[in-house]
Structure 1
Amino acid sequence: RGVETVSLLQYWQGPAGEAGSTVLSVEDGWMWMAALADGRRYLQLTVDVASADLPPKRALGDYCSARFHAVEAAAPFVRDAQPVGEPHARTSTAVLNESVAGDDWIRVGDAAMAVDPLSGNGIFQALSSALQAPAVVATLRHDRGRTALAQHFHTRRIEHLFHRFARIGRDFYAQEARWPQAPFWAARRGWPDALPLHAKVRPETVRVARGPVVCAGRIVEQDVVVTPDQPLGVWHLDGLAVAPMLAALRREGGDALEKAAGEALLCARFGLERARAAALLAWMRAQNWLD
């Protein structure tokens, strides 16, 4: 669970005009503002639960209005506009559910995890976890021998997405240099850890291992290429299983790792056309899988 965060969202109505949006950092949090062409406005203030000096609920409307009117960047969004109703307070805390898969159920989207909105990946996360769900569900229902494999597949991917988005949010927070010691920013610039978003890959850190993948609508185990930046493993690239090709190149070693020899090996061993072999070899080198 991330640092406890709350967002105050209020709808406003103004005259019709140009649509637009902006995000702005302030000492105790950040603001998001959006305007639709029909005059509807959405103004949101996100603050730290532990350190925010919020008024009683009945005074939140005046509080939010005063906060936005005090910011120059908010002027286009509040000019000639009025609040509609009361502000809505919602948690924006990043949360990973302890259990996301059972013998006959799985969690997807926000039921599995909620990411910090500043990571900008909430919709992607929901769709991404939902896209893998049919294969996981089908395996749980029809391939009981692979129940544990399907659960492992779904759980690891949810956890991987959560930590990836948490680090994206962390790096956004770390870019704000004006108030590094302010409670809101200090608590978020180092969570969840100090690991880089993209881990450095070197040929000696790349290995072939068995891992769960989606194949024909089921979760099965195949050889995949595991790297520090792709810990879940890479199975296919452009419809090709990459693990056996990488293993073949490494077994031959030496001259086989040279461009022409490597292309020839892939063509002869795996029946690839020269251009496709060249593209695959270039991609492996770009990923630092090969010297």
Structure 2
Amino acid sequence: MAGTPDGRRYLQLTLDVGSADLPPKDQLVEYCNDRIRPLEMAAPFIRDAEPTGELHARTSTPILCREPAGDHWIRVGDAAMAVDPLSGNGIFQSLSSALQAPAVINTLLRQPGRTALARLFHRARVEELFFRFARIGRDFYAQESQFSAEPFWQQRRDWPDRVPIHQSVRPDQVQIAKRPVVENDLIREAEVVVTPDQPLGVWHLQGLELAPLLRALRNGAAKEHPEQMLAAALGDRKALAPQILMWFRHQGWV
């Protein structure tokens, strides 16, 4: 429920499509009124108010396009995926998926040999955004305590899974792998550091590629002199060794 200073009221009723027995469209206004009027919390809000305007019905079913890019086309925003309207991340997810699109398009047009890599890059990030926002929505629903036993809330507080949004990381879970990255507005493959909290990988920090630095820290001598080993790997930027080592430890990489 929301209101404007001139007295207008806006009400939204969200139903589970699997359990809602919806009437024909011309009966939806009365259908919604019959469910809103008995609500104690709505009484002060709708007192002396009369239904006006047009009622709009929209689906809020989560949608993930499994193939969001082809050789000559690309999906962004809601065309690529849509998660949950109640958690309020729609605009952010649309912008997030759109920001990576220029590099994907540029690669498809200028580097046809990297078409598969560019499509993989876009698909992986769309899927990661989808599950990230789905878990944010799940945690919003989990805050409901008054009606938590009702099917509507039970289903949503357990979907899509029980994986936490942010995961703790142990050094033995940290891997170095090749993943597509953006460089100079093009997609290319590079070594990145992959963790449970960063499944797409972290490529660089302050312009420094992290995979070679982590590899340098994993040899035997680094366990006794990690800062010195980092300094040697950093070369003329060795002054950053203490800062990089502290960041690695904070991330749980070492």
Same-fold status (TM-score > 0.5):
yes
For the residues of structure 1 that align with 2:2 and 2:91, how far apart are their CA atoms?
A: 17
For the residues of structure 2 that align with 1:255 and 1:72, how far apart are their CA atoms?
A: 66
Assess if the C-alpha contact under 8 Å between 2:66 and 2:123 holds in 1.
no
Assess if the C-alpha contact under 8 Å between 1:266 and 1:272 holds in 2.
no
What is the aligned partner in structure 2 of residue 241 from structure 1? 209
Query: Is 1:280 equivalent to 2:248 in the alignment?
Result: no
1:211 partner SS: strand
Deviation per CA, 1:168-204, whole angstroms, max 9, x where unpaired? 2222223323334422122222222232322331100
2:118 partner SS: helix
What is the aligned partner in structure 2 of residue 192 from structure 1? 160
What TM-score, normalized to structure 1? 0.79
What is the aligned partner in structure 2 of residue 269 from structure 1? 233
1:193 partner SS: coil
Task: Give the number of the structure with larger relative contact order, counting CA–CA contacts within 8 Å between residues 6 or more apart.
Answer: 1
Letter in 1 for 2:250: A
| 1:87 CA drift (Å) | 1.4
Distance 1:215 1:41, change over 3 A: farther
What is the aligned partner in structure 2 of residue 27 from structure 1? none
Query: Is 1:112 equivalent to 2:77 in the alignment?
Result: no
Letter in 2 for 1:283: W
Query: Is 1:226 equivalent to 2:194 in the alignment?
Result: yes
1:221 partner SS: strand
Assess if the C-alpha contact under 8 Å between 2:232 and 2:238 holds in 1.
no
What is the aligned partner in structure 2 of residue 253 from structure 1? 222
1:90 partner SS: coil
What is the aligned partner in structure 2 of residue 46 from structure 1? 14
| 1:285 CA drift (Å) | 0.8
For the residues of structure 2 that align with 1:69 and 1:282, how far apart are their CA atoms?
A: 58
| 1:273 CA drift (Å) | 5.7
For the residues of structure 2 that align with 1:38 and 1:237, how far apart are their CA atoms?
A: 51
Q: CA RMSD in A?
A: 2.1
Give the 5 Å matches for 1:7-18: none
Give the 5 Å matches for 1:137-156: 137-156=105-124
Give the 5 Å matches for 1:9-88: 33-37=1-5, 39-74=7-42, 77-79=45-47, 81-88=49-56
| Higher alpha-carbon deviation: 265-274 or 223-232 | 265-274
Query: Is 1:135 equivalent to 2:103 in the alignment?
Result: yes
Deviation per CA, 1:198-236, whole angstroms, max 9, x where unpaired? 233110000111110010000011110000111100012
Letter in 1 for 2:118: A
For the residues of structure 1 that align with 2:128 and 2:101, how far apart are their CA atoms?
A: 16
Assess if the C-alpha contact under 8 Å between 2:169 and 2:251 holds in 1.
yes
Assess if the C-alpha contact under 8 Å between 1:51 and 1:183 holds in 2.
no
For the residues of structure 2 that align with 1:234 and 1:94, how far apart are their CA atoms?
A: 28
| 1:159 CA drift (Å) | 0.7
Count of residues in correspondence between the two structures: 252
Distance 1:73 1:243, change over 3 A: farther
* 5+ residue gaps, structure 2: none
Aligned-pair identity (%):
61
* 5+ residue gaps, structure 1: 1-32
